A and B are shown apart, each in its own frame.
Chain A
Amino acid sequence: MPEPQPEEPHVSGGQRSAEDGAIASTGLDGTMDLATTEGETLEKGLGNADAGGPADKARSLWSDAWRDLRRNPVFIISALVILFLVVISLWPSLIASGNPLTCDLAKAQQGSQPGHPFGFDGQGCDVYTRTVYGARISISVGVCATLGVALLGSLLGGLAGFFGGISDSFLSRITDVFFAIPVVLGGLVLLSVVTSNSVWPVIGFMVLLGWPQISRIARGSVITAKQNDYVQAARALGASNSRMLLRHITPNAVAPVIVVATIALGTYIALEATLSYLGVGLKPPSVSWGIDISAASPYIRNAPHALLWPSGALAITVLAFIMLGDAVRDALDPKLR
C-alpha cells in the first residue's frame, strides 16, 4: 500500500500508553492492537483525502479495502454464502415449497426420498424444509443482535472515550461487570423466566451481554483518533464537540467496530442455536436450527441425517460470517496480514 507522507501519525503520548495498558490488562489485547493500529491506518487514508483533495480520492482507506476485498476469494465465497442465506431467510419458499410445521409421523426417521432430499426427523417433519426455514431466525437474530450491540456499544464506548474522566471510569467498571457474566449461564437464568416466544427477548439478551465488547473497541479507537493533529487543530479552531465527533472522529474510529461486529455476528448465531438447544432461546413452534439439533440428538443412532443437516447449516453460516469478518479485517488493516 502506498504510504502517503503528508501526515505522519502521532501515536505516542503517555496518556495513550496508559490507556492501552489498562485495556490490554483486561484480556482484550488482540482486538485492542487492532483498534490502535487501525487508528493509524485510518488516519493515513482519510487524512490524506482531507489534505490531498479530490484527485487522491481513489487512495482512501475504504476504496483500498474494497479493492483488496474484491480480489480476496475468501471474501467472495463467504459473501456469496451470506447473500444466499439472506435471500432464503427472506423468501424461504423460493427453494422449499413445504410447510416446516407439517409433520407426518408415518414418515418418521426415514431417509431422503424424491421431494425430500434431507429425509425426515423423529417426528416425521421434512428436514430440508425445516433447515431452510431455520435460516430466518438465525440470520435475523444474528443481524439484529449485531446491530443492537454495535449501536449501543459504540455509542457508549465512543462517548466515554471522547469525554474521558469520571464517566469513562464509571463506564469501564460497568463493562467489567458485564464481562464477568458467563453468557450461557446468564442466558439460562434470564431467558428461563421469559414466556414470550419471539426473537426479541433473545436479541435483547445478546445486546445486554454483548455491548461491552464493542464498547471497549470503540472507546480505544476514539481515544486514538482524538489524539490526532487534525482533531487538535479542529479543537483549536473552536469546533464544537459534536462537530469533532461526527466529522473527524467517527469516520476514523468506526473500522475496528465494523470488523469486530462482523466476526461477532457469527458467534451470535451460534449463541442463538446454543440457547435454543438448551430450551431457553426460541421454543417450538418456532423453527430454529438449535431446536432441531436438540430434538434430533436422541435419534443420532437411527436417523443421523436429522441431526447433521441443521448442524451443517449452522456450521456453514457461522463460518461464513467469521470468514467475512476476517476478510474485512485484513482489508481494513493490511499490517496484520
Chain B
Amino acid sequence: MRGATHARWAAGAVAVALAATGCGGGDSGGSSGGGDSGAVLSSSWGDPQNPLEPANTNEVQGGKVLDMIFRGLKRYNAKTGAAEDMLAEKIETTDSQNFTITVKDGWTFSNGEKVTAKSFVDAWNYGASLKNNQKNAYFFEYIQGYDKVHPSDGSKQTADTLSGLKVVDDRTFTVALTQKFSTFPDTLGYNAYVPLPQSFFTDHKAWLAKPVGNGPYAVDSYTKGSQLSVRKWDGYPGEDKAQNGGVDLKVYTDNNTAYTDLLAGNLDLVDDVPAAQLKNVQADLGDRYINTPAGIIQTLSFPFYDKAWNKPGSEKVREGLSRAIDRDQITDTIFQKTRTPATDWTSPVLGEDGGYKEGLCGDACEYDADAAKKLVKEGGGLPGGQVKITYNADTGSHKQWVDAVCNSINNALDNDQACVGNPVGTFADYRNQITERKMSGPFRAGWQMDYPLIQNFLQPLYYTNASSNDGKWSNADFDKLVNEANAEEDTAKAVQKFQQAEEVVRDNMAAIPLWYQNGSAGYSQRLSNVSLNPFSVPVYDQIKVS
C-alpha cells in the first residue's frame, strides 16, 4: 500500500538519522559488558489514540510509552505480575477503606523536580476532574468526593479536588475511600495513578508535546504517524535502570510490514507477530521468537446503545453468535495454537486462586451450529439480517480471525451473508469510532489487563459507565456484586463474588469471549535479554543491545 510504504521509508530515514546520533552519544559514554548501554533499539508501534496524559490513556500503544517514562507507587513484577512497591515506601490501612501512603525519598522527575506526595495528589485530582475529561477518571471513583468532581448525572461539578485525598507532609498523603476496597493498593501500579510534575499543570501544551515523567526513559521526540523516540534517563534513581540507550518506537500500519522489516534488519523488535507468519516464525527467528502467556483476552463487544442490540431476546442472538464460532478451529488454523479458546471472561494468568475459572462460560462458548441457529431465531434473528464485525486492520492480524469468525458464523447459520468484517485502518481511528459510539454491530474488544486482578477483567469493562465499557452495557446486579466483591476483605471470598458477577455477564452474554492471547515477539540478532511481561509488553528497560 502506497501510503504505508511511504511512511515506512520516512520512518526509516528518520531512524537512520537518529541511530547515527544515538550511537555517537553512546560511544562516548562507554559500553558495559554484554551490551552497549548507549545503543538504541527500534521497535514496532502504533500511534496512541490520545496525547500521552496518563489518566487519559486506556489503550495499549499509549500505555507502552507511559510504562517506559513513568513509575508509580507500585509496579507489577515483569515475571509474576505481582504488585511490588516502587515509589511507595509503605501503604498502610486498618480498615481497607482509609489508606496512608508514604512515598520513598530520593525520587525526581527527569526535569529535576522532586516527586512528592503532592505530585500524586495533584495528578489524581486532575485525572478525576470532569472538566479534564480523562478516560480513566473512573479509576478514582471509589475515592471520597468523586461524585462532586465528576458527577455522573450530567450536572456541573461542584469541587475541583477529591475530598478524600489529603497531603500530610512532603512524603505522606492519605486516601479515604467511599467503601472498603481491599485490593486498592494492588491497583496503584496502573498508569492512571502515576505522579505528575508541576510543568504538566503550568505549561500543559509543552508537556504534551514532550511528556516529562519519572521513569527510566525520557521522551526525546515524537512525530505523529512516524516515530516516538525515548532515550535513557541517566539520572534515573530506581533499580530498574535502562540497559540500553533508548528505544525508537516506529509506527507501522501493518504488522506484516513490521515483520518483514525485522527479517530485513531494519527493525529490532516486533511485539506483534502476524498470524500469517506463525508457520514460519520458528524457521525465521529460531530462539529469537518468544511466546509467553499474557493477561489478554479477545472478545466481541456489542453496542448496547443501539436499540437493535439491546432489546428483550438479543441476549439469545448474542449467545447464538457465540455458539456459531468454532474457537478451536480458528485458534488452531489461523493462530497455529498460539491462542487458547476462552471459556471464561478473565485470563489463565490470574491462576485459579486469582479468579480464573475454566469452563465458567459453559455451553455458551461451545461451538454448536444447530443450537446457534435455534438461539438466533428465538432471539428474533440478526438485527438488520447481517452482523458487521468492526475491527482495526493495523495490528494483531485481526482481519484473518474476523474473516474466519464470519465464515464460521456463516457456515453455522447456513447463510453466506450473515456476517461480514468491517475494517478500520488504524487503531487510533478505531478507538475514536468506538468512543464516539459509532458501532452498529459487534466489534473487536481485546482486553490487556492493567493489573493482574480479576477485578480488572470485569469492572472496567462491564460496570455501568466504566472507563472501558465500550458497549455501554449496564446491569444493576452486576454492579452490586462488584461493589460487594470490592468490599470483601478476604481475597478468596472477593474472588467468589467476582465470579458471581462474571456469571451475570455470561447470562446476558454482554460480550462474547473468543480466546486467551499469548504475548508474542520476535527480535533481531542485536538484542538479548528480551522478555515480555504478563501484560505482553516487552520489558524494554532490560533489553541489551550489542
Residues on A lying within 8 angstroms of B by beta carbon are 99, 101-106, 108, 122-125, 184, 188, 278-279, 283-285, 295, 297-299, 301-302
Contact = CB atoms under 8 A, between A and B. Distances in A.
Contacts of A188: 3
Contact of A105 (B326, B423, B425): B326
Interface string B405-421: 00110110000110011
A105 B404 contact: yes
Given A285-B417, A285-B420, A298 B404 contact: no
Interface string B271-288: 000111101100000000
B-side interface size class:
20 to 34
A123 B404 CA distance: 6
A273 B421 CA distance: 19
Nearest to A121: B403
A125 B333 CA distance: 13
A188 B4 CA distance: 13
A124 B256 contact: no
B22 to A, nearest CB: 32
Nearest to B400: A122
Contacts of B403: 123, 284, 295
Nearest to A108: B333
A106 B408 CA distance: 11
Given A122-B400, A188-B3, A279-B393, A298 B276 contact: yes
Given A105-B326, A105-B407, A99 B416 contact: yes
B81 to A, nearest CB: 32
B2 A184 contact: yes
B329 A105 contact: yes
Given A105-B333, A123-B404, A302 B280 contact: yes
A298 B423 contact: no
**Nearest 10 CB-CB pairings of A with B:** A298-B276, A101-B416, A103-B407, A108-B333, A298-B256, A105-B333, A105-B329, A299-B276, A302-B279, A123-B403
Interface string B18-62: 000000000000000000000000000000000000000000000
Contacts of B2: 184, 278
Interface in B199-257: 256
B330 A105 contact: yes
Q: Which secondary structure characterizes the binding site on chain B?
A: helix
B394 to A, nearest CB: 12
B476 interface: no
B1 interface: yes
Interface of B: 1-3, 256, 274-277, 279-280, 326, 329-330, 333-334, 393, 397, 399-400, 403-404, 407-408, 410-411, 416-417, 420-421, 423, 425
27 contacts: A99-B416, A101-B416, A101-B417, A102-B416, A103-B411, A104-B411, A105-B326, A105-B329, A105-B330, A105-B333, A105-B334, A106-B329, A108-B333, A108-B334, A122-B400, A124-B407, A184-B2, A188-B3, A279-B423, A279-B425, A284-B403, A285-B416, A285-B417, A299-B276, A301-B277, A302-B279, A302-B280
Contacts of B330: 105
Given A105-B329, A298-B397, 16 more contacts: A99-B416, A101-B417, A103-B407, A104-B411, A105-B326, A105-B333, A105-B334, A105-B404, A105-B407, A106-B333, A123-B407, A125-B407, A184-B2, A279-B425, A285-B420, A301-B280
Nearest to A280: B425
Contacts of A283: 420
B259 to A, nearest CB: 9
A295 to B, nearest CB: 7
B393 to A, nearest CB: 7
Contacts of A102: 410-411, 416
A278 B425 CA distance: 10
A298 B329 contact: no
A298 B416 contact: no
Nearest to A107: B333
Contacts of A299: 276
A271 to B, nearest CB: 14
Nearest to B407: A103
Contacts of B407: 103, 105, 123-125
Contacts of A125: 407
Contacts of A105: 326, 329-330, 333-334, 404, 407-408
Contact of A278 (B1, B333, B400): B1
A283 B422 CA distance: 9
Contacts of A123: 400, 403-404, 407
Nearest to B256: A298
Contacts of B276: 122, 298-299, 302
A54 B48 CA distance: 77
Nearest to A102: B416
Given A101-B416, A124-B407, A298 B393 contact: no
Contacts of A103: 407, 411
Contacts of B423: 279
Contacts of B256: 297-298
Contacts of B410: 101-102
A108 B336 CA distance: 12
A252 to B, nearest CB: 42
A101 B423 CA distance: 18
Contacts of B280: 301-302
A106 B400 CA distance: 14
A193 to B, nearest CB: 13
Contacts of B411: 102-104
A299 B400 CA distance: 11
B420 A298 contact: no
A298 B256 CA distance: 7
Nearest to A101: B416
Nearest to B259: A298
A94 B333 CA distance: 32
A103 B404 CA distance: 9
Nearest to A302: B279
A278 B423 CA distance: 11
A175 B158 CA distance: 61
Nearest to B283: A301
Contacts of B334: 105, 108, 122
A298 B279 contact: no
Contacts of A278: 1-2
A283 B399 CA distance: 13
Given A99-B416, A278-B1, A298 B421 contact: no
A298 B333 contact: no
A298 B277 contact: yes
Contacts of A298: 256, 274-277, 397, 400
Contacts of A104: 411
A279 B330 CA distance: 23
Contact of B421 (A122, A124, A184, A284): A284
B449 to A, nearest CB: 29
Nearest to A99: B416
Contacts of A297: 256
A298 B421 CA distance: 18
Nearest to B393: A279
A301 B410 CA distance: 28
A284 B404 CA distance: 13
Contacts of A108: 333-334
Contacts of B1: 278
Contacts of B326: 105
Nearest to B276: A298
